[in-house]
Amino acid sequence: MLKRGYATGAKFAMNNATLYNKVYSLVDGNNRPIFIADPKNESIGRILGKEVVIDDNIADDTIILGNFNYMGYNMPQGLMIEVSRESSFKSGLIDYRAMAIADTKPLVKEAFVKLSAPAGV
């Protein structure tokens, strides 16, 4: 499991299909759900008290538990900002677009645990 020092601030990350097909129906020994939806706040919910982050770039049946403060990122070309007055000319609006290409890598490997569900379970 996750090393003790990294558990504070840790989050679960998975894609939508994994959450609803694998995790949503799980219960503990007292028949209470493991996943608790959070309709009042911005997060989708919590698993065992830890926030759940949905990212559809994560493979099906894969769950990552980690402290994402220990994730490094690189933006080799910086942030590109574009403005267009033509696209919304008729309504008198100005459109802005920002785009960035980035890659990430764990800075501390023990701050993350990759969990995988067996196929068909």
From first to last of the 121 residues of the chain, give the pLDDT tens digit.
788 899 999 999 999 999 999 999 999 999 999 999 988 888 899 999 999 999 999 999 999 999 999 999 998 888 999 999 888 888 889 999 999 998 999 999 999 999 987 666 5
**Among the four given CATH numbers 3.40.120.10, 3.30.350.10, 3.30.70.1400, 3.30.2320.10, the one describing domain 4-72+106-116:** 3.30.2320.10
Tokens of 38: 């959070």
The confidence score (pLDDT) of residue 21 equals 93
Domain ranges of the chain: 4-72+106-116
How many other C-beta atoms can be found within 10 angstroms of the C-beta atom of residue 45?
18
| Helix runs in 10-115, H state only | 16-18
